[in-house]
Chains A and B, each alone.
Chain A
């Protein structure tokens, strides 16, 4: 009722005022008339009536005050606050931008963390899902894996599924994806072959994931029985791209690896499987199709082929810990049972070392999460620090402004404003700033989030849908609210505690001098300086570490090399025809203009996949525990020249090393040093397997060590085998490497055309330069170095603004003092020194705090650094010099202004 009346008052305020004034006027007139009646003169009666009435304005004000409520004062405050902000566009812009950068950077990084690390899979009750390993790596392991089980065999999967006590159900799915040659028109159609990513899954996969189809259905239990008719479920993206959302597709057959497969369902648009990655499967197939889809021997009954990832759905009320306990028992039971009578003591020990580590599966498996969680956490700390610096900056600005507005505040207090009312006004103003900054920050993050995602992942198809969702929004608002409280309260508290008399008389003590808490403004600047130093040192370390990585001697020459990925296996080439294909390709490409050399091979340096095996040497039995593992890769003739890997001894692989010729190999330095220390390895022989088998493979060349599988690790023993001599999977090449005389990209078209001429049906899956491939492997380092540099410079800029603001304000309020000093003979040099001494003091204190803090925090990022100690003196010195230089510039401007002051003007000041 009251509130309603008050609101009505607000709406009709003008009428109310008019009526009140009218009423009071009538009152006076009545009093006047009465006085006239009692015989007073007209004139005197009017004054008498006025006197009797008292302070009219006060009466009106008081009457009004009865009706006004907090709603109105808040509105008033907001209006006034907005006006004040408009009046100081410079201050407002800097403050809002500062906040926007701080809040925006935090929101952006948090959105990224949320998407990469916190977000759940778009499936039913994701919290019930459990993966049997949190390792996102994909592949196949032959033979028992010691330690944590990453992959599982089909028999192992079935055993787990049949003995599930804690789980409603357990699904098995291929740990990676398989490339499929798809003829979408079905067999016999003339359509071209496309490469799609497929995934082999158990029949219950979709029900375990809790995913329903948008059309059609998912697999039935019978779809995965041996000899069941081949069926597939496809992704919504593929349905849209290839079939234009045609509902009639269900029941139609497409041709996959020359097998006709009937499509029975389409998954919802948001579903992408359990693996968060850039390359998403588009076709799901039952496990029993594994031999036809992978084009290898059947692994369905092979207990030695570990290639599945398991994902289970917990029964309601069962915890992960309970499920974990039984899983390990089951693993060792089955492994023991598999060995049967062959079980040896040694094997028993090995089995005892095996374990399953169940992990919450609601967020899926993510190599991004796996590899980016540490950098992202570092970045979170970095942007947190940026936010703190930004807040300190805004607080400083507010402080300076409150200081400058002292007179206004004193007048208001003197006119009777209460301290609480003033505080509310000042707080409203800071809240306005905070809200505006929050909005600007949100806009900033909306713009910058896609940028950050592109830094993490180059593929647009990555299932990271980053939109500022409720969680992110809440986070931003909390940050901006805390910021407001943080920087609104302190200046408000201080601004209202003023000695009225001295202020009105014009004596404004300078900030940080006489009477005011001297520490605060300076402490803020010192905090900014030390925070910036920490960030600069971090950025410098990341930058130098990246430079170290990139300029290290890789052992190959990355310039001028073009890599063309091919896949003869998918194109259906038989093993016997491969050497001819390779020779034809090599000859054709070598004949192109602008090509210096070309070679076929499995991969080039930093290409990614790795295959390892144990070897044994001729005439030598390995000592117990000796590491006989080597990496192997395949290469064609001219491989070493093309990649720019120098040969130290012997020869490279030649065209003559064909299937009829004696088996040969080239090894790297690490191989030679590991197996033949101090000896010439040329002419030595080895073979794969645990026992040497004649004639073995002869070593004919020694290549320089190169960074082949990682840019950080030491080189490990590596064997290059002639691709023309290989059997089975190893016979299939992965790419053609071409060394150009000029820019490698310019010959890409010609190379593609040449491949098409030689083998029209051979799909080229990717073309890039070796330089790009190398840069790819530094992506994570580059991201963190770029971002930390950006934020470091941002922090520096903010500190610079804070520095300048504080000093400028200090100089302004000391004009009087400076004038006197100059009048009695101080030179402008002395005045400059006066101000710069302050600068030196503040920077000195900032460094004194910042240096130990930098040393402490850089130790935390030591694992991310390459060839660099966390206390790298050059980086520290560089950061300190940059900081001193910038602070000097920021401090010199007010210092010069002070020294240019005309003493007379300064003395007359105020």
Chain B
């Protein structure tokens, strides 16, 4: 969900995704590369993203991932269920 959200703005490469998530969450979330790449492969396999080789901002060769329509749909759905989960957790925490 986080990767898809990151990509929903603009396409990015693996390092960029990791950096973005780390920065936005203000270092609260660190995506280990060990789980980033398998996750990306899963997204590729499910057609939620597509990948192509391109040049990064400082002219390095990198593989860019781009979200697809199916990816956006998946993101919306995941966000909904995540929100529901959050609400649920919040309610439990309040009543204690």
Contacts and interface: CB of A to CB of B under 8 A. Distances in A.
Most buried by B among A1, A27, A62, A65: A27
B38 interface: yes
Contacts of B47: 1
Contacts of A62: 34-35, 37-38
Question: What is the interface residue range for chain B against chain A?
Answer: 20 to 34
Nearest to B58: A33
Nearest to A53: B33
Interface residues of A, number: 29
B65 to A, nearest CB: 10
B37 A63 contact: yes
A59 B33 contact: yes
B41 A19 contact: no
Contacts of B19: 34
Contacts of B41: 63-64, 66-67
Contacts of B32: 54
A55 interface: yes
Interface in A719-769: none
Given A1-B47, A2-B45, A54-B32, A27 B14 contact: yes
Contacts of B14: 23-24, 26-27
B45 A20 contact: no
Interface in B3-45: 13-15, 18-19, 32-38, 40-42, 45
A52 interface: yes
Contacts of A22: 63
Contacts of B56: 30
Contacts of A5: 45
B60 interface: yes
A23 to B, nearest CB: 5
B33 A20 contact: no
B75 interface: no
A6 B41 CA distance: 11
A58 B37 contact: no
Given A2-B45, A63-B41, A66-B41, A54 B34 contact: yes
Contacts of A2: 45-46
Contacts of B38: 59, 62-63, 65-66
Contact of A58 (B15, B34, B40): B34
A543 B32 CA distance: 78
A223 to B, nearest CB: 77
A615 interface: no
B15 to A, nearest CB: 4
B32, B33, B42, B47 — most chain A CB neighbours (10 Å): B33
Contacts of B73: none
Contacts of A29: 60
Given A30-B15, A66-B41, A67-B45, A23 B63 contact: yes
Given A2-B45, A54-B32, A67-B45, A26 B60 contact: yes
A64 B45 CA distance: 11
B45 to A, nearest CB: 6
A117 to B, nearest CB: 56
Nearest to A55: B34
A62 B42 CA distance: 10
B61 interface: yes
A58 B63 CA distance: 20
B30 to A, nearest CB: 8
Contacts of A359: none
B95 to A, nearest CB: 39
A105 B41 CA distance: 52
A580 B62 CA distance: 115
Contacts of B35: 59, 62
A278 interface: no
Contacts of A26: 13-15, 60-63
Nearest to A59: B34
Contact of A19 (B15, B18, B42, B63): B63
A5 B41 CA distance: 12
A31 interface: yes
A20 B60 contact: no
A361 B38 CA distance: 69
A103 B46 CA distance: 46
B34 A66 contact: no
Residue from the set B13, B14, B37, B41 with the largest chain A CB neighbour count within 10 Å: B37
A20 B37 CA distance: 9
A52 B63 CA distance: 20
B72 to A, nearest CB: 18
Contacts of A20: 37
A67 B37 CA distance: 12
Nearest to A58: B34
Contacts of B15: 26-27, 30-31
Nearest to B63: A23
Contacts of B62: 23, 26, 30
A102 B19 CA distance: 66
A696 B58 CA distance: 133
Nearest to A54: B34
Interface in A25-46: 26-27, 29-31, 33-34
A657 to B, nearest CB: 103
A23 B12 CA distance: 13
A604 B41 CA distance: 89
A254 to B, nearest CB: 79
Nearest to A5: B45
A420 B45 CA distance: 25
Contacts of B61: 26
Nearest to B40: A63
B60 A24 contact: no
A55 B32 CA distance: 9
Contacts of B33: 24, 27, 52-54, 59
Contacts of A23: 13-14, 37, 62-63
Contacts of B13: 23, 26-27
A27 B14 CA distance: 7
B2 to A, nearest CB: 17
Contacts of A19: 63
B63 to A, nearest CB: 5
A471 B40 CA distance: 52
B8 to A, nearest CB: 21
A65 B41 CA distance: 9
Contacts of A63: 37-38, 40-41
A60 B37 CA distance: 8
Contacts of A66: 38, 41-42, 45
10 contacts: A5-B45, A20-B37, A26-B13, A27-B33, A31-B15, A53-B34, A54-B34, A59-B38, A62-B38, A63-B37
Given A27-B18, A27-B33, A59-B33, 10 more contacts: A19-B63, A24-B33, A26-B13, A26-B14, A26-B61, A54-B34, A59-B35, A59-B37, A62-B35, A66-B38
